[in-house]
């Protein structure tokens, strides 16, 4: 499964296309002049490259989904829909597995530079792990699938088509490649002197008076196209030749430069190939995207602007919606939140279980209480401490007190890899995966484990969750009270940022426990290597923030990627789960109950269990005033 960590309701290659397939009529804009829709999310945007390890966050993914198009997306069912207006992809051979991607005519970036196979080649180079880029290696969120494309993909002479040839068949080949950030933009960030003349023209355009605006824009776009063609060619040649003098600065820019929380001055940082372009940002408050006048390949959006406000307090968000300051809200609801939403007479509500699940991960490599290093080099002792801690996590109490008021049928989730929605497989996995050892709180059992291992209590544990998240704050209090009974002292190290997820900023997680959620962006079978797979380079850790490593898990994950038979897939997933529970990796808690609320001033709002949830069909949102 492709997954993202979430700061709000949830962090790959996400579903990214936002267009109706098969449109044969000439493009007609349906954007209503002067309209703006305001929606809320309880975590703010901070990184435009959501395919990178640093940017792999749902709050970022929501923005990049709105700003960019692609080859496919998931509808509300959810069902994968191909977007032939952006481009096509087809399997041309089974042995070896060969997939051809072709960009449609007329698709451009928001600076007018054509989207080409060079952009796809950069996506492969950055997310395959097969391109040596020097000390500053690419740091992708996941290498699932693309790691099996070991030979540099070929590009056709017209620059429109790129072909992937897999060394082994990949079960989720339809989901492997997303376009990500632009090739020419990333090259320009890495080599700013080459872009300076074009940037100067952009600055003149933004400063021009109304009379000179059109001419200044034309000059900027002509320069951008010349630079874009040159930059795309240079980057493609560097990838093909393995030129580290080019690739190393490009990788550094791909990893780091797209991180920002205020409006950038350089347009390369927010280039779009979709319906909207970022136009304004205020840190911790909002991000606004405006209709992209160059996008004539997608079906038209309706609103001129979309603003996503950052509102951590769910009650405050719903009050804003009732007051007409907000049009759509979703978040991590509580029983109080639901009651408030139900009392808004001008709003509609949809409740639906999400494809996201809450979990706790224990850190294996920071020298803390769950590591061998933190226990005098004794791995058996470290394991006992991990097992003891998991025995005191009050999962049923959390579900009963926090989740059941929202979903009376809610139960503990007992699988890392399989959703309870997949009833048959889930039952098979849970029956034998070892989760039953931690089904009930066992204070005495935890005490005995610590005593037998010779552990002196209290054991200090640094516990992280997103600061300001009400529901997770409640979970922390319940876990802390239970853990204290067995001799664990939980130290609240919550903060609003996700620094531990950025491999460049924090190669090793300083927290001992992290509480957040994984959200599926697709129905893929593979992809869990980004969380549970061993890494040697911190820049390649993907979503493995705990430093976990198990050879048997690695082997099973690799095999799962190339296994088509459903029964064999289940057997491999069971093997992985057994190892995770045996190692006391962490624990799962509950499946997310979803709550979507929207104003009567907008139509076309529909939820989707997969991330990006209600954003999936933003182009269908329609202002009531335009009807």
Q: Are β-strands 488-492 and 459-464 bridged in parallel, bridged antiparallel, or unpaired?
A: parallel
Cα(503)–Cα(545) distance, rounded to whole angstroms?
Answer: 9
Strand partners, 300: none
Give residue-wise pLDDT tens across range 561-617: 999 999 999 999 999 999 999 999 999 999 999 999 999 999 999 999 999 999 999
Class for the domain spanning 354-591: alpha beta
Q: Tell me which residue of 174, 144, 170 sits closest to 82, measured CA to CA.
A: 174
Q: How confident is the model at residue 13, as a pLDDT?
A: 28
Q: Tell me which residue of 432, 417, 396 sits closest to 589, measured CA to CA.
A: 396
Q: Tell me which residue of 43, 7, 10 sits closest to 591, measured CA to CA.
A: 10
Cα(547)–Cα(541) distance, rounded to whole angstroms?
Answer: 8
pLDDT band at residue 4 under the 50/70/90 scheme: low
Tell me how far the alpha carbon of residue 11 is from its chain's centroid: 3
Give residue-wise pLDDT tens across range 128-159: 999 988 888 999 999 999 999 999 999 999 99
Q: What is the mean pLDDT of residues 425-441?
A: 97
Q: What is the mean pLDDT of residues 322-331?
A: 95
DSSP state string for 421-488? TSHHHHHHHHHHSSGGGGSS--HHHHHHHHHHTTPPSPEEEEEE-BTT-HHHHHHHHHHHHHHHTTTE
DSSP 8-state secondary structure symbol assigned to residue 182: -
Give residue-wise pLDDT tens across range 356-412: 999 999 999 999 999 999 999 999 999 999 999 999 999 999 999 999 998 999 999
Angle at 576 between CA 503 and CA 566, to 5 degrees: 115
Q: Tell me which residue of 68, 53, 184 sits closest to 127, measured CA to CA.
A: 53
Q: How confident is the model at residue 9, as a pLDDT?
A: 30
Q: How far is CA 173 from CA 128, 193, 227, 563, in A?
A: 13, 38, 33, 12
Q: How confident is the model at residue 374, as a pLDDT?
A: 97
Domain residue ranges of the chain, discontinuous segments joined by + = 277-351+594-626, 354-591
Angle at 181 between CA 175 and CA 186, to 5 degrees: 140
CB 414 within 8 A of CB 608: no
Give residue-wise pLDDT tens across range 528-551: 999 999 998 888 888 999 999 999
Q: How confident is the model at residue 39, as a pLDDT?
A: 98
Cα(71)–Cα(182) distance, rounded to whole angstroms?
Answer: 15
Q: What is the Cβ-side half-sphere exposure of residue 136, based on CA atoms within 13 angstroms? A: 15
pLDDT band at residue 331 under the 50/70/90 scheme: confident
Q: Tell me which residue of 58, 66, 60, 78 sits closest to 3, measured CA to CA.
A: 58
Cα(72)–Cα(86) distance, rounded to whole angstroms?
Answer: 9
Structure-block tokens of residue 404: 């059941």
Structure-block tokens of residue 61: 């993914």
Q: Report the mean per-residue pLDDT for the chain.
A: 93
Cα(522)–Cα(1) distance, rounded to whole angstroms?
Answer: 6
Q: Tell me which residue of 484, 465, 488, 486 sits closest to 476, measured CA to CA.
A: 465
CB 450 within 8 A of CB 384: yes
CATH topology of domain 277-351+594-626: D-Maltodextrin-Binding Protein; domain 2 (3.40.190)
Cα(50)–Cα(457) distance, rounded to whole angstroms?
Answer: 41
pLDDT band at residue 1 under the 50/70/90 scheme: very low
Q: Please give the residue that has the higher pLDDT: either 352 or 114.
A: 114
Residue 167 has pLDDT above 70, yes or no: yes
Give residue-wise pLDDT tens across range 12-45: 222 222 222 333 457 899 999 999 999 999 889 9
Give the contacts of 344 (CB within 8 A, at least 6 positions apart).
318, 321, 322, 597
Q: How confident is the model at residue 5, as a pLDDT?
A: 45
The sign of the torsion formed by the CA atoms of 440, 548, 170, 18 equals: positive
Give the contacts of 231 (CB within 8 A, at least 6 positions apart).
183, 184, 187, 188, 194, 195
Percentage above 70 pLDDT, the chain: 96
């Amino acid at each position: 499964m492709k997954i993202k960590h979430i700061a709000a309701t949830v962090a790959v290659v996400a579903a990214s296309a936002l267009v109706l397939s098969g449109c044969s009529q000439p493009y007609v804009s349906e954007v209503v002049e002067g309209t703006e829709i305001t929606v809320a999310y309880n975590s703010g945007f901070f990184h435009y490259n959501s395919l990178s390890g640093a940017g792999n966050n749902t709050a970022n993914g929501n923005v990049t989904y709105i700003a960019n198009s692609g080859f496919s997306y998931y509808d509300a069912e959810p069902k994968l829909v191909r977007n032939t207006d952006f481009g096509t992809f087809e399997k041309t051979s089974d042995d070896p597995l060969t997939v051809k991607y072709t960009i449609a005519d007329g698709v451009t970036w928001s600076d007018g530079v054509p989207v080409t196979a060079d952009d796809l080649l950069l996506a492969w180079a950055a997310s395959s792990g097969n391109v040596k880029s020097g000390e500053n290696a690419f740091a992708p969120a996941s290498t699932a699938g693309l790691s099996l494309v070991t030979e540099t993909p070929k590009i056709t002479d017209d620059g429109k088509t790129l072909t992937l040839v897999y060394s082994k068949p990949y079960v989720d080949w339809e989901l492997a490649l997303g376009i990500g950030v632009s090739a020419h933009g990333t090259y320009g960030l890495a080599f700013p002197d080459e872009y300076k003349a074009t940037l100067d023209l952009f600055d003149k355009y933004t400063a021009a008076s109304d009379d000179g605006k059109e001419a200044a824009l034309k000059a900027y776009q002509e320069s951008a196209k010349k630079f874009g063609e040159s930059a795309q060619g240079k980057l493609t040649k560097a990838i093909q030749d393995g030129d580290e003098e080019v690739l190393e600065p490009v990788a550094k820019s791909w990893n780091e430069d797209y991180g920002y929380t205020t409006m950038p001055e350089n347009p390369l940082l927010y280039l779009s190939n979709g319906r909207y372009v970022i136009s304004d940002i205020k840190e911790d408050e909002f991000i606004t995207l405006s209709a992209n006048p160059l996008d004539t390949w997608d079906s038209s959006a309706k609103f001129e602007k979309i603003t996503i406000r950052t509102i951590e307090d769910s009650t405050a968000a719903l009050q804003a919606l009732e007051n007409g300051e907000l049009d759509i809200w979703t978040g991590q609801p509580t029983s109080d939140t639901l009651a408030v939403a139900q009392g808004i007479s001008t709003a509609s509500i949809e409740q639906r279980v999400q494809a996201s699940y809450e979990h706790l991960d224990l850190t294996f490599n920071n020298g803390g209480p769950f590591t061998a290093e933190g226990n005098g080099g004794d791995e058996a002792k470290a394991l006992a401490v991990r097992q003891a801690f998991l025995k005191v996590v009050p999962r049923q109490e959390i579900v009963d007190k926090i989740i059941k008021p929202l979903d009376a049928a809610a139960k503990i989730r007992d699988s890392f890899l399989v959703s309870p929605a997949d009833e048959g497989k889930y039952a098979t996995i849970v029956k034998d995966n070892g989760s039953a050892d931690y089904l009930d709180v066992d204070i005495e059992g935890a005490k005995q484990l610590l005593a037998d291992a010779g552990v002196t209590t209290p054991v200090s544990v640094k516990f992280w969750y997103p600061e300001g998240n009400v529901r997770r704050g409640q979970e922390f209090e319940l876990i802390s009270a239970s853990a204290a009974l067995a001799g664990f002292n939980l130290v609240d190290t919550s903060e609003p940022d996700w620094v531990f997820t950025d491999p460049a900023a924090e190669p090793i997680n300083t927290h001992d426990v992290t509480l957040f959620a994984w959200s599926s962006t697709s129905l893929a079978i593979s992809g869990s290597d980004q969380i549970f797979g061993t890494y040697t380079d911190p820049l390649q850790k993907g979503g493995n923030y705990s430093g976990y490593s198990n050879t048997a898990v690695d082997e099973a994950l690799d095999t799962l990627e190339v296994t088509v038979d459903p029964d064999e897939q289940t057997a491999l997933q069971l093997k992985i789960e057994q190892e995770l529970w045996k190692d006391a990796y962490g624990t799962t808690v509950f499946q997310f109950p979803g709550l979507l609320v929207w104003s009567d001033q907008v139509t076309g709002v529909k939820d989707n269990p997969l991330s990006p949830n209600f954003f999936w069909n933003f182009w269908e949102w329609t202002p009531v005033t335009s009807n």
